[in-house]
Structure 1
Amino acid sequence: MHRSLEFKRRLERQEIYPNTTKNGLWFQRTIGLNFNISRIPLKGCDMFSSLPSPTPPSARAILLHIHNWQYTIEVINSSSQTIPVGILEQRLLSIVEDASRRLNSGERAVPVGVLTADERDCWAENQEYLLSLSPLNGTSFQAINHSILALSLDPWTYVPGSSSGSTSLPLPNTPQEVDAHLHNLRSSHSSHPGHNRWFDKPYTLIVESNGRAGANGEHSPCDALVPSIMGEYSVVQEMDIDAFQPDPSTDSSWTETTGWQRLEWVTDEHIKSECIAAEERIRPIVQDSDDHVLWFDAYGTDVIKQELGISPDAYIQMAFQLAWYRTQGEFTATYETVLTRIFHHARTETIRTYSKESRAWVLAMMDNSISTATKRELLDSAIQAHSGFTRAAATGKGVDRHLLGLRCMMTAEELAEIPDLFRDELFMRSQTWKLSTSNLSPGDQFRGTGFGTPEHDGYGISYLPGRDLIMFGIESKHSCPSTSTQVFSDVLTQSLLDLRELCSFHPKAHL
């Protein structure tokens, strides 16, 4: 948390610019949308909370969750200076002690935060009712919205199949342990999904009781690459051990009772029942999610670029095409995110990986009668086509955001008579993203990543292409008989091995 705040301060002072883009202004504008803001539920369409001025205490605080209670901690003083890390540690420990006292006295929090995981119109209705109960709720709600970042201290360590906070974990950095961590970051503990979170905050650091940590992002303010840069900065900085306090067990002055406060809620039986109902609506969604982090360690981007002479992103996208066809026996529209960062207020556009060129190559790979030389030529054509689609989409020459914008601008009356284009079968199929993919970044400090599939019979795939290791966060639905995250992971692994064999057998000039 201290390094995240340091990053924010240094960026505001223009002391650092990330090396992920030559356009530092792009990053400086969008990273600001992660701080002091929340997503606000409204019927039909959400909005963002208004940005506070930098002076009120609520704008100089972070939001902390523990045992479903919310606290705010002042982390920037009235002189706009970040508090020392030792003071931050004291305040965190004081809150942990306060929460422990409340639990020991028999107090239990009404898990208001679980409402933020519910369907948006339900949350909008419950938020309106919650705010009507007492002005105190409005004060707490504003403090949450104005807070800089969120921090969840989970009093458990998630283990798959465990109904309690057992710490009997698989070995560290095994697929089973990483998947367990991903599950908790995604939805909290499966026995009480959605708890100890406020999902409307753009950036929430999450720490489990054994110390493993990650983050959950709310996507609407900015794209995932933006907070990931901040997260990586926070991890790679050296730790100054001398900045921390002595062992609390040997120092009676380790807590600080000022600089933080509880957020209180006035609730009634209706809100309590809605929290229970929201959790029950969330539970089947969580249970249906089949997510897994694949660590492909046979080779990485160094081999793809230097030995094979191919763009790593296009190469990986071709592996997705081959793996999908091998598991499904057909093709599908494929979504890949590209940043349109050369435009001032731009976000993303769609790269359409599935093309006539990628189709021809995949079909050739499935035909043993076609020579490897021909397969390599077809692969080169598919790679070149994908690179061209990427350049076009990044420079505003894509089609999907334009068409989406037109649809979103239609009024209710206009929607009653949808234009022929939006009813066209080919158009609708082309908007059905059964392969939804995104290249996050090298992310050398991350153990994995992930997001959900937008289609019940598809996959959501986020990937981190590193020099010697490619990490894939793959999600599908248990309830779909035609998809399986484990099967797709296995086939994707084989497809990547087959790609290297093809390219090594027929080396080509750099593309």
Structure 2
Amino acid sequence: MSRLAPRLPIPPLESSLEKYLKSLEPFIDDDHHVRSHLRAIADDFRDGLGKKLQTRLKDVDRVSPTNWLDDRWWIKLAYHTNRAPLLINSNWWLLYKDDPSTPNDLKMTKDSRGFTNWQILRAAWLTRGLLHIKQLLDKGEQLPDLSKAARWFGPRANKLFGMTRLPQYDCDHLTHVPLPNLTKHIVVFAKSQAFKVDVIDAKGGIFGWDTIAKSLSGITESLGNDLDSPVGVMTAVDRDTWTRNREHLKIISQKNELTLSAIESALFTVCLDDYTLPPRSKEQDVLDGHMINIAGGINGKNRWFDKSMSLIVENNGRAGMNGEHSFVEALVPSIVADYTLYEDMPVNASIASQQQSCRSERLRWVLDDHIISEIKSANSVAERILNDSEPSELLFSEFGVDWMKEVAGLAPDAFIQMALQLAWFKNQGYFTATYETASTRIFDNGRTDTLRTLTSESKRFVKTMMSKDVNDSAKYDSLLQATKTHAKNMRDATTGKAFDRHLLGLRMLLRPGESHELFDNKYNAMSSEWKLSTSGLSAGPRFNGTGFGTVYPDGYGINYMAGPSELKFGIESKLHCSATSTYGFKRDLLSSLQEMRHVCETQQKTLKARL
């Protein structure tokens, strides 16, 4: 980011401790003894060990190139030391809307296997769009309508092209991406076979989308029965297993090392699926099949989950993107993807027989019995992960951001978060710690902080809404107070005044033999058990949905987009957990939004009647 961006501040210790204590209130249940004990813990920390840790953190800040959190700890702690599979657990996914030119016979789910011309044309069109964005970013140009975000967006978006998470024992790392990135190729996957395709010429120019389409067509036509085992599925398993298998691949043959290098250095991958995945049952929405495929495909095949961006196109033209999460939040690739959808495909597009194609090369593997066995095992692991995942999208068109502002008179994000609180309580019957991503991108190399949605005010709002003895005016007042608290907490979090990352930094500086009850008490644990993990993206008018996996097996992962007149919620939970149900949560969220609308509109009618 620009050196003009301010550094991430270190909040005053007293301020963070007060906010910490306030965040524990919803879990205390008016127990005066517990409240007094927690206050004593915080005071002891402030006057003793906390003061030492604060000094150490300031020392860390002085020697950090950009900021004390992200330079030193965040990616490692939040992502790279996590050994769980990236599939569902970490990677995000985006579902594109269909192109208006989609042939009528392909608009519904296509049952037959095989690649189609329309699929190839759309994949080429979207590939060309991504490359065009890279070209603009390389030149330092701003994307249209993004002037306010240019300072933080450009460097992050540009490094998406070529970024790959590489597995290592204990802690992964990211590939180094120079700016500008002179890499000229992408990697295309079809039937789990990898092809290197040069999409940029020797002078740095991008090949036309029709040239790219000809190359993709040649790839799909060249596939016969001589198919390598689906090596990419091994990127779907736990990171230490993938580390071991990746090292074994390199030992077997230098050809494998070259193939890995080509994939991991590629600007991005394009995954051409020779099918259109239907929903799991007739009761499910057609969109659910699309979501499952973009999230993980069929048992993790035809994917490379380590890549920061994988463009996925099914044989009926449905498309989307899947990406590795550690380098940036999903907002950045979602903006990149959105720009590729600005311009619709040309009507009556076709692949000319005389059209030139890009230079392409099939990437082969040399495999032994051990790796073939590991691939089969990885396939089983991916199958279990995907079969246990229940993702679905709630498309809500009864109102959107405009109504929340103009009629309800409330902050839209806060309104949505209160709806999620109400839906959770209806669904589960108890309150839980709730995480919302708050962006700190205004700071140099800033990423995120935690916004704790469950507050005393949001808890009071839910109880009020659930009571039959409270009138709509009182319900609106409780909603108003809850949204005001949430909006203030969001302002604090985005301006470096939140406390979660601050306390994390202090905890990381504990020395051997040092400990404190501030970090170890049960209320601290309860308040950070994020069974409801949420994050908002942009309005997303060109997306059908988005999502990520739940953090806890008995919780929900919810990614939402708020447009002027519609809301979209991507919801994921685990099928093995009898306490949760994605479709049950969708019903509870729908009723919560409708009930909150009724409360707000009743309040407005009452106010007008008084005038």
Using structure 1 for the length normalisation, give the TM-score: 0.89
Structure-to-structure mapping, 1:85-234, within 5 angstroms: 85-99=209-223, 103=224, 106-161=225-280, 176-189=285-298, 193-234=299-340
Cross-structure match for 1:265? 365
Which amino acid in 2 is paired with 1:184? Answer: N
Q: Given the alignment of the two structures, is residue 499 of structure 1 paired with residue 596 of structure 2, yes or no?
A: yes
Change (3 A) 1:130 1:317: same
State how far apart, in whole Å, the 1-side matches of 2:543 and 2:348 are: 26
**Counterpart position of 2:15:** none
Cα distance in 2 for partners of 1:497, 1:21 equals: 36
Aligned residues: 480
Aligned to 1:472: 569
Residues 275-324 of structure 1 deviation map (CA, whole Å, 9 limit, x = unaligned): 11111122222111111111112211121111221111110100011111
Q: In structure 2, how many angstroms separate the alpha carbons of the residues matched to 1:42 and 1:334? A: 31
Find the counterpart in structure 2 of residue 82 from structure 1.
Answer: 206
Q: Name the SS for the 1:455 alignment partner.
A: coil
Offset, 1:239: 3.2
Look up the SS of the partner of 2:568 in the other structure. Answer: strand
Check whether the contact 1:36–1:52 (CA below 8 A) recurs between aligned residues.
Answer: no
1:371 shift after superposition: 2.7
- Tell me if structure 2 keeps the 8 A contact 1:66–1:154: yes
* Residue 461 (structure 1) aligned to one of 550, 555, 558: 558
Q: SS at the partner of 1:336?
A: strand
Quick one: structure 1 residues 482 and 243, their matched pair in 2 at CA, closer, same or farther if it must change by over 3 Å? Answer: closer
Q: 2:454 & 2:242 partners in 1: Cα distance? A: 37
More moved, 401-410 vs 260-269: 401-410
Residue 329 of structure 1 and its aligned partner are, at CA, apart by 1.7
Q: Find the aligned partners of 1:236 and 1:183 in 2 and give their Cα distance.
A: 25
| SS at 2:213 equivalent | helix
Residues 487, 236 of structure 1: alpha-carbon distance in 2 compared, 3 angstrom cutoff:
same
Amino acid aligned to 1:270:
H
Q: TM-score, normalised by structure 2?
A: 0.75
Find the partner of 1:366 among 454, 459, 466.
466
**2:84 maps to which residue?**
none
Contact 1:305–1:312, Cα closer than 8 Å, also in 2:
yes
1:60 to 1:498, Cα distance in 2 relative to 1, 3 A = same
Query: Which ranges in structure 1 are unaligned for 5 or more consecutive residues?
Result: 163-169
Residue 476 of structure 2 corresponds to which residue in structure 1?
376
Instruction: Name the SS of the counterpart of 1:236 in structure 2.
Output: coil
Contact kept, 8 Å, 2:440 with 2:449, in 1: the verdict is yes
Match of 1:165 in 2: none
Quick check: 175-184 or 380-389, which moved more? 175-184
Structure 2 match to 1:335: 435
Pairwise mapping of residues 217-256 of structure 1 onto structure 2 (< 5 A)? Answer: 217-240=323-346, 245-246=351-352, 251=353, 253-254=354-355, 256=357
Match of 2:9 in 1: none
Measure, in 2, the Cα distance between the counterparts of 1:370 and 1:122. Answer: 56
Per chain length, whose mean CA-contact separation is higher, i.e. which structure has more relative contact order (CA < 8 Å, sep 6+)?
2
Corresponding residue for residue 387 of structure 1: 487
Matched residue SS, 2:547:
coil
Tell me, in whole angstroms, the C-alpha distance in 2 between the residues paired with 1:13 and 1:200.
Answer: 27
- Of 352, 355, 367, the residue aligned with 2:452 is 352
Tell me the alpha carbon deviations over residues 444-464 of structure 1, each in whole angstroms, 9 at most, x when there is no partner: 000111111000110001111
| 1:366 Cα deviation after fit | 1.6
Task: Give runs of aligned pairs for residues 286-305 of structure 1, distance below 5 A.
Answer: 286-305=386-405
Contact 1:175 1:294 in 2 (8 A): no
Local SS of the residue matching 1:310:
coil
Paired residue secondary structure (1:282): helix
**Residue 51 of structure 1: aligned partner:** 177
Distance 1:410 1:45 in 2: 21
State the Cα distance separating 1:406 from its structure 2 match: 4.9
Equivalent-residue separation in structure 2 for 1:492 and 1:84 (angstroms):
45
Q: CA 1:161/1:427 → structure 2, altered by over 3 Å: closer, same or farther?
A: same
Aligned to 2:550, the other structure's residue is in SS state: coil
Q: Is the 8 A contact 2:279 2:287 kept in 1?
A: no
C-alpha RMSD of the superposition: 2.2
Deviations 1:168-195 (A, max 9, x none): xx8xxx9611100000011112xxx110
